[in-house]
Amino acid sequence: MPVAADVNANLLRNLKLLQSLGEAVPHGGILKAVAGIGITILETAERVRQNKEECADIARRAAEHISVLKRLDEGEELSDDLVERLERYHSVLKEILEKVERLGTAGPSWKRTLRALNVQDETKDCLNRLNEAYQILNHR
């Protein structure tokens, strides 16, 4: 198994564990939703036909950030503040998923050439948004 596939398999496993944790934690529905959208982003990035590397980078960053949440104690109730931050983070992840889907769709070759710089900008923007959202999520 190539290294990237191995990393993705580990990230996917971590996200599924977090999704299970969301079921065990009181008011953990938002954890389950965040993990679920992380899984969707990873799976979408694996399926895209265009800009595969950029989409994979974005998906890995999102999954790595989300995986950190599994440190939450099982059975510990989520504070209202954490739930609110998770909801904002979930909104950002939904936007990121839309961008990954858009980056991964095929278009006419002339449009792809014109979009090359735009793809780099979109990728950088997604990574920056993920970093900013992660910082807000971890601000206690």
Q: What is the pLDDT of residue 92?
A: 97
What is the distance, to the nearest Å, from the Cα of residue 17 to the centroid of all Cα atoms in its chain?
A: 15
Q: How far apart are CA 31 and CA 79, in angstroms?
A: 12
The lowest-confidence range among 20-34, 50-64, 105-119 is: 105-119
Spatial contact of 14 and 67, defined as CB atoms under 8 Å apart: yes
Domain count, the chain: 1
> pTM score, two decimals?
0.85
Q: What is the pLDDT of residue 96?
A: 97
Looking at per-residue pLDDT, the higher value among 26 and 92 belongs to 92
pLDDT classification of 57: cutoffs 50, 70, 90? very high
Which residues have CB under 8 Å from 33's CB, separation 6+? 22, 90
Task: Give the residue numbers spanning the domain of 115.
Answer: 3-138
pLDDT tens, residue by residue, 66-113: 988 887 766 567 889 989 999 999 999 999 999 999 888 866 654 555
Q: How far apart are CA 122 and CA 103, in angstroms?
A: 8
